[in-house]
């Protein structure tokens, strides 16, 4: 089982010719609303990769649409609280090169309580996944460890104040290349030397690096025509963790995650763009031919 303490956002996505500069007003070419947030993106990826999932989070009174979208993507809301605060949301600009700029309001994601954490950890087992878009991460880490769960931490959005105290407590650390460099600067050591049992570093078009108990794996990225990179890292992590939990095969999980994120960036949106397991397997079979 994977218990994911994760953000739930409503993404407002504006397609633009170029990303806005300071003081610049642009006319958007299109607008769309998507389910998003790093946490729920990861949960959708876990669910679509066949993982057994419990998503823990919160929405406001305006969260019905987000909950419906979660259900449509195989993510239940038994452990999603309804709070008297706005649902988290993001304003996203995506340009013609598929690059993006994102502004996030945490909203209900930053109002989790200790009771929500306690209730979610009753009979929890296996992995607990968490990231920096919710509050209570220190409490989540401590209580999850006490419950005997393994801890997977996505150090994003990066904050050394959040990340550094967790390094000796977690079993899996996931970062992108920029976050890895920030963490190296903060610690004075290469990330692979930090002693975390499982380290996953995603590098975009350069693929991904993985260390499992000191053993190194690399996966080359698959060549695709990207149209929107929003949520690619979340897709990668959720897909990897689900497959690793199922197979205990690092190389296989890494390859699957690379394929899932490759497909995801060829589609518009974040959670809604994450492929089903059958699509990933079909993609991988085509790559081998």
Residue 221, judged by CB atoms within 10 A of its CB (0-12, 13-18, 19+), counts as middle
Q: Is position 234 annotated as part of the catalytic site?
A: yes
Q: How many helices (H) and strands (E) does the chain have?
A: 9, 13
| Binding annotation for substrate | 9-11, 37-41, 133, 234
Nearest to 204 by CA among 189, 222, 187, 186: 222
Give strand pairing partners of 152. Answer: 129, 172
Residue 256, judged by CB atoms within 10 A of its CB (0-12, 13-18, 19+), counts as buried
CA distance 67 to 80: 9
| Binding annotation for ATP | 176, 202-207, 233-234
Nearest to 206 by CA among 173, 240, 177: 177
Which is catalytic among the residues 234, 245, 276, 279?
A: 234
User: CB of 209 within 8 A of CB of 201?
Assistant: yes
User: CB of 263 within 8 A of CB of 275?
Assistant: yes
* Active-site annotation, residues: 234
């Amino acid at each position: 089982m994977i218990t994911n303490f994760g953000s739930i956002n409503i993404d407002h996505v504006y397609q633009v010719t170029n990303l806005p500069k300071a003081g610049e007003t642009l006319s958007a070419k299109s607008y769309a609303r998507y389910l998003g947030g790093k946490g729920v993106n990861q949960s959708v990826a876990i669910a679509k990769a066949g993982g057994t999932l419990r998503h823990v989070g919160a929405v406001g009174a305006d969260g019905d649409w987000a909950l419906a979208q979660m259900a449509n993507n195989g993510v239940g809301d038994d452990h999603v609280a309804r709070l008297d605060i706005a649902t988290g949301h993001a304003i996203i600009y995506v340009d013609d090169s598929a690059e993006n700029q994102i502004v996030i309001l945490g909203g209900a994601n930053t109002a989790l309580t200790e009771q929500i954490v306690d209730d979610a950890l009753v009979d929890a087992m296996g992995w607990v996944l968490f990231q920096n878009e919710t509050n209570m991460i220190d409490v989540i880490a401590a209580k999850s460890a006490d419950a005997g769960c393994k801890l997977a931490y996505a150090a994003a959005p990066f904050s050394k104040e959040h990340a550094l105290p967790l390094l000796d407590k977690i079993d899996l650390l996931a970062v992108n290349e920029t976050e890895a460099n920030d963490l190296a600067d903060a610690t004075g050591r290469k990330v692979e030397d930090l002693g975390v049992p499982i380290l996953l570093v995603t590098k975009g078009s350069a693929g991904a690096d993985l260390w499992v108990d000191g053993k190194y794996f690399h996966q080359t990225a698959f060549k695709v025509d990207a149209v929107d990179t929003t949520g690619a890292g979340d897709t990668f992590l959720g897909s990897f963790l689900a497959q690793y939990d199922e197979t205990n095969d690092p190389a296989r999980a890494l390859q699957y995650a690379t394929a899932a994120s490759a497909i995801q960036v060829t589609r518009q949106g974040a959670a809604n763009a994450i492929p089903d397991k059958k699509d990933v397997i079909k993609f991988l079979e085509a790559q081998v031919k």
